[in-house]
Amino acid sequence: MNRNDIIARCQQNDSTLLSFEDRGPWGDRKWRGNCSGWIQAFLMWKYHTKKFSELFAGSGTGYDVTKDMGISYVGADLNPNPVRPGILNVNAVTDEVPEEFYGADQIFMHPPYGAEIKIPYAGSMYKDPTGELSKSDLGQMPWDIFMKTLNEIVMKYYSAMEPGARMSILMGDVRRGGFHSMFTDIVKPGELEQVIIKAQHNCVSDGRTYTNRNFVPIVHEYIMVLKKLAPYLINFQLPQKYEMDTRDSKTSTWRDVVYAALKKIGRNASLEEIYSEIEGHEKAKSNMNWQAKIRQTLQMSNLFVHDSRGVWAVAA
Of the listed pieces 64-72, 88-96, 268-276, 293-301, which binds ligand SAM according to CB under 6 A?
Answer: 88-96
The whole-angstrom separation of Cα 23 and Cα 28 is 10
Site string for ligand SAM, 29-68 (x = CB under 6 A): --x-xxx--------------------x-xx-x-------
Residue 157 near ligand SAM by CB under 6 A = no
The whole-angstrom separation of Cα 52 and Cα 15 is 21
Site string for ligand SAM, 135-154 (x = CB under 6 A): -xxxx---------------
Which residue, 134 or 194, is less far from ligand SAM as judged by CB?
A: 134
Which residue, 141 or 257, is less far from ligand SAM as judged by CB?
A: 141
Residue 183 near ligand SAM by CB under 6 A = no
Residue 27 near ligand SAM by CB under 6 A = yes
Of the listed pieces 71-79, 157-165, 187-195, 212-220, which binds ligand SAM according to CB under 6 A?
Answer: 71-79
Contacts with ligand SAM by CB under 6 A: the residue count is 24
Residue 268 near ligand SAM by CB under 6 A = no
| Strand pairing category for 312-314 and 304-306 | antiparallel
Identified binder of ligand SAM from the candidate list 10, 65, 74, 78, rule CB under 6 A: 78
Ranges of beta strands (E only) in 61-116 are: 72-77, 87-89, 106-109
Residue 172 near ligand SAM by CB under 6 A = no
Q: Looking at beta carbons, which residue is closest to ligand SAM?
A: 58
CB 153 within 8 A of CB 136: no
**What's at 5, amino acid-wise?**
D
| Strand pairing category for 188-189 and 179-181 | unpaired
Of the listed pieces 75-83, 232-240, 249-257, 269-277, which binds ligand SAM according to CB under 6 A?
Answer: 75-83
Residue 182 near ligand SAM by CB under 6 A = no
CB 161 within 8 A of CB 104: yes
The whole-angstrom separation of Cα 23 and Cα 26 is 7
Class of residue 38 by CB neighbours under 10 A (exposed 0-12, middle 13-18, buried 19+)? buried
Which residue, 68 or 77, is less far from ligand SAM as judged by CB?
A: 77
Which residue, 167 or 274, is less far from ligand SAM as judged by CB?
A: 167
Q: CB neighbours of 160 closer than 8 A, spacing ≥ 6? A: 97, 101, 102
Between the alpha carbon of residue 44 and those of residues 37, 49, 68, 236, 268, the distances in Å are 11, 5, 11, 24, 64
Least distance (Å) between residue 210 CB and ligand SAM = 26
Identified binder of ligand SAM from the candidate list 79, 106, 151, 168, rule CB under 6 A: 79
Between the alpha carbon of residue 126 and those of residues 77, 81, 82, 209, the distances in Å are 11, 8, 10, 33
Q: Which residues bind ligand SAM (CB under 6 A)?
A: 27, 31, 33-35, 56, 58-59, 61, 77-79, 90-93, 110-112, 121, 136-139
